[in-house]
Amino acid sequence: MVSGARTSALDLASLHDEVLRWYAVSSRDLPWREPSCSPWGVLLSEVMSQQTPLARVEPIWREWMARWPTPADLARESPGEVVRAWGRLGYPRRALRLHEAATVIAQRHDGEVPRDQTELRALPGIGDYTAAAVAAFAFGDRSVVVDTNVRRVQARLVTGLAQASPAMTRAEVALAEDLLPDDDEDAATWNVAVMELGALVCTARAPRCEECPVSARCAWVLGGRPAYDGPPRRGQKWHGTDRQVRGIIVQALRESTEPVRREALAPGRDEVQVDRCLAGLVEDGLVEPVGAEHYALPGREEAAG
């Protein structure tokens, strides 16, 4: 059970019922939530949606599932083509890690996404969160799934804070575990229901408390919705950063069927920064030098003229 003075009054049975009933009628219709979706489809959705809005993820996810419906299908593709198909989802290293994970699944797990969380975490690019999410959403197993949305809902509902701390704490994970319903199937649904509540209603900047199914028991609402007064929450810069330049370089290579000359990769950008970004992309395996002056996505065999 949930412990602590601030949580002792929670009626978990009613809380679970209210959130699960809300999710049943208010959740978004997403293809990876369909009962027919394979564990591979769930794994793809979880990796693709990290730090990326679901509206951008869904069309790419559908393309990937049509093109590579199994891990073995993706493993047979060249890494460069996988990066090209990643489009503008951002953080293209995720595409390479998915390709590597698919290769491991095909070679070591008979082409089937493993169910065990330890085996899931052993896959390239799969951390604690993704392993727990795949176990819950693909297999219906009992696991603790804690993302940014879950942390924010818990902070408001239970602890009465406007926002969660900048970094996840052990206490938040322990609280998420204590809040799980006893029934394993309900626990799996609860995980995604709380995530959905945070994404659609209990949002970071403009929470719609009037639409929340549990606002009457929310410690933050009952406390007068006090402003966040914790450690500063710094947003990520974008314009002019190495991350932006790396994205420009990778996009230029995606759009070309031939290796691209170095000066055409990010024209107008500081050359020292471009060289630094190129070196990092090569080290990460996202870009390959072709001859002395050209670059291409990995796994391509064309030679520069």
Q: How many CA atoms lie within 13 A of 128 on its CB side?
A: 6
Percent of the chain residues past pLDDT 70, beyond the cut: 92
Catalytic-labelled residue, pool 18, 34, 46, 283: 46
301 or 164: which leads in pLDDT = 164
Whether 255 sits among the annotated catalytic residues: the reply is: no
Domain with CATH 1.10.1670.10 in the chain: 12-27+144-222
User: pTM of this prediction?
Assistant: 0.81
The domain covering 31-139 belongs, at the CATH homologous superfamily level, to Hypothetical protein; domain 2 (1.10.340.30)
Residues 251-280 have a mean pLDDT of 87
Kindly indicate the confidence band of residue 305, based on its pLDDT and cuts at 50, 70 and 90: very low
Residues 195-236: tens digit of each pLDDT:
999 999 999 999 999 999 999 999 999 999 999 877 665 655
Helix (H) or strand (E) holding 233, with range, is: none
Q: Which residue pairs from 122-130 have beta carbons closer than 8 angstroms and sit at least 24 positions apart in sequence?
A: 124/97, 124/100, 125/47, 125/93, 125/94, 125/96, 125/97, 125/98, 125/100, 125/101, 126/43, 126/47, 126/97, 126/101, 130/43, 130/46, 130/47, 130/50
Kindly indicate the confidence band of residue 301, based on its pLDDT and cuts at 50, 70 and 90: very low
Residue 2 pLDDT greater than 70, yes or no? no
Residues 147-201: tens digit of each pLDDT:
999 999 999 999 999 999 888 899 999 999 999 999 999 999 999 999 999 999 9
CATH number of 12-27+144-222: 1.10.1670.10
Cα→Cα distances 153→25, 136, 161, 283, 304, Å: 19, 19, 9, 39, 53
CATH topology of domain 242-296: Arc Repressor Mutant, subunit A (1.10.10)
Query: How far does the chain reach from its first CA to its final CA, in angstroms?
Result: 68
Domain with CATH 1.10.10 in the chain: 242-296
Tell me which residue of 268, 271, 252 sits closest to 260, measured CA to CA.
252
Q: List CB contacts of 70: < 8 A, sequence separation 6 or more.
A: 38, 40, 111
Domain with CATH 1.10.340.30 in the chain: 31-139
Residue 14 pLDDT greater than 80, yes or no? yes
Tell me which residue of 283, 289, 287 sits closest to 304, measured CA to CA.
289
Residue 127 pLDDT greater than 80, yes or no? yes
